[in-house]
């Protein structure tokens, strides 16, 4: 920071210069975020100063958060709504597992034995936020194998459960392949073992309810204890907007800390100061789009996903699994090299870990003409 500040024009021109270095979403197939919807931007701008870390001051913003939680809970077939708008999938996942730990700690007292750790069993396809969880919560994260369709292998999940297991994780929309784990079966395993089940639907939460094909993945499944779904992904809210929901109040209560000098006496969230603007954006989208609007957005993303796959098949490229949602992993030889070559043509794609494949996420910023242009380049790169 210099002694004397710059003029507004100088600052704005600095911003322009930095903005030019950022890529535009129109060339990006690797991201699960997109341009925020214009109503989300308007709502965000109206609530820039709102801090839900001290929600007694912002009663209207708090009301919007409560209504978001109710609307999202209903979407996911929860009888009651217990949760809050978080900063995204990472915070939601941390908080779910933290609640499991806190509740089991109370229930088990003294366990696990000296020198042993509590553990959770997650699919090998789990997002890297679970590696952060292992570190922060000092919990062992056991990774279960996947089957041929890249869903978690149920017999491996059962084999990894022992007396120190506090919960399971199922993913509804895996980051790399967009696959949905068998949540109903995981729920049965959780109930039989008297442990919790968290569903990571950070991406899939705002896709799966709007697909033509129906899946059991939410609170309609008896064994599901908590669910994460991110408005800042497919709902196209402004960043940061995640949502964590719990089946019962006691999970949220287990996260409470006292905040004696604030307008509210307890706080459940991981962060202190938190964005009311992103809550306003989420609220406005849920109201404005309705289920019908979301169905339309998801239908278009799926139409383009199917078009992409069909066109690729005409030049001998096939997906690793038939796409379940708008995430496609294409079996191409030397995926890393292909991704690099596409980058030289201005396209950002990513490469999955196992099996190696070229990964594309068909977000709402991808149009048919962008896709056609991309397919021409992909064909050229592969030739």
C-alpha of 296 from chain center? 20
Where in 239-268 is the site for ligand 0PR (CB under 6 A)?
242
Using omega within 30 degrees of 0 as the cis cutoff, is the peptide bond preceding 47 cis? no
Give the dihedral of Cα atoms 304, 310, 314, 319; nearest 10 deg: 100
| Positive or negative: CA dihedral 4, 8, 10, 12 | positive
- The yes or no reply on residue 152 touching ligand 0PR (CB under 6 A) is no
Least distance in angstroms from the C-beta of 127 to ligand 0PR: 4
Residue of 83, 88, 123, 223 interacting with ligand 0PR (CB under 6 A): 88
- The yes or no reply on residue 171 touching ligand 0PR (CB under 6 A) is yes
* 68 neighbors 61 (Cβ within 8 angstroms): no
Tokens standing for residue 343: 């980058």
- The yes or no reply on residue 134 touching ligand 0PR (CB under 6 A) is no
Where in 208-237 is the site for ligand 0PR (CB under 6 A)?
230
Residue of 95, 102, 175, 326 interacting with ligand 0PR (CB under 6 A): 175
Tokens standing for residue 313: 């098949």
Applying CB under 6 A, which part among 6-14, 28-36, 98-106, 269-277 lies near ligand 0PR?
28-36
- Return the percent helix, strand and coil in the chain, to nearest 5: 45, 15, 40
* 276 neighbors 284 (Cβ within 8 angstroms): no
Least distance in angstroms from the C-beta of 328 to ligand 0PR: 14
- The yes or no reply on residue 104 touching ligand 0PR (CB under 6 A) is no
- The yes or no reply on residue 26 touching ligand 0PR (CB under 6 A) is no
Between vectors from CA 67 to CA 285 and to CA 199, what angle results, nearest 5°? 80
Applying CB under 6 A, which part among 85-93, 276-284, 301-309, 352-360 lies near ligand 0PR?
85-93
Choice between 90 and 284, CB closer to ligand 0PR: 90
List residues near ligand 0PR by CB under 6 A. Answer: 30-33, 88-90, 93, 127, 129, 171, 175, 200, 202-203, 230, 242
């Amino acid at each position: 920071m210099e002694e004397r500040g710059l003029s507004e024009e100088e600052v704005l021109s600095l911003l322009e210069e930095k903005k030019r270095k950022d890529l535009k979403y129109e060339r990006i197939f690797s991201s699960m975020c997109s341009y925020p919807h214009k109503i989300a931007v308007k709502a965000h701008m109206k609530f820039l100063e709102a801090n839900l870390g001290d929600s007694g001051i912002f009663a209207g913003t708090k009301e919007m958060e409560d209504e978001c939680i109710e609307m999202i809970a209903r979407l996911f077939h929860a009888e009651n709504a217990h949760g809050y708008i978080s900063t995204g999938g990472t915070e939601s996942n941390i908080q779910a597992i933290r609640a499991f730990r806190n509740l089991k700690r109370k229930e088990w007292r003294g366990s696990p034995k000296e020198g042993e750790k509590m553990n959770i069993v997650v699919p090998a396809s789990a997002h890297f936020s679970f590696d952060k969880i292992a570190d922060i919560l000092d919990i062992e994260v056991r990774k279960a194998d996947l089957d041929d369709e890249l869903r978690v292998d149920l017999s491996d999940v059962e084999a990894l459960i022992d007396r120190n297991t506090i919960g399971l994780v199922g993913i509804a929309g895996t980051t790399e392949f967009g696959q949905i784990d068998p949540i109903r079966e995981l729920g049965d395993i959780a109930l039989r073992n008297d442990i919790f089940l968290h569903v990571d639907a950070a991406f899939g939460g705002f896709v799966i309810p709007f697909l033509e094909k129906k899946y059991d993945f939410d609170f309609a499944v008896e064994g599901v204890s908590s669910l994460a779904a991110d408005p800042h992904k497919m709902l196209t809210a402004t960043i940061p907007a995640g949502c964590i929901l719990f089946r019962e109040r006691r999970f949220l209560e287990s996260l409470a800390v006292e905040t004696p000098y604030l307008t509210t006496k307890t706080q459940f969230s991981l962060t202190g100061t938190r964005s009311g603007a992103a809550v306003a954006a989420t609220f406005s989208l849920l109201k404005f789009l309705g289920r019908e609007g979301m169905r339309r957005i998801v239908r278009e993303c799926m139409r383009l996903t199917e078009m992409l796959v069909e066109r690729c098949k005409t030049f001998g490229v096939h997906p690793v699994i038939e796409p379940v949602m708008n995430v496609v992993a294409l079996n191409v030889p030397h995926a890393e090299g292909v991704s690099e070559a596409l980058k030289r043509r201005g396209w950002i794609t990513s490469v999955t870990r196992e099996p190696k494949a070229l990964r594309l996420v068909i977000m709402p910023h991808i149009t048919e003409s962008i896709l056609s242009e991309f397919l021409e380049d992909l064909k050229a790169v592969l030739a």
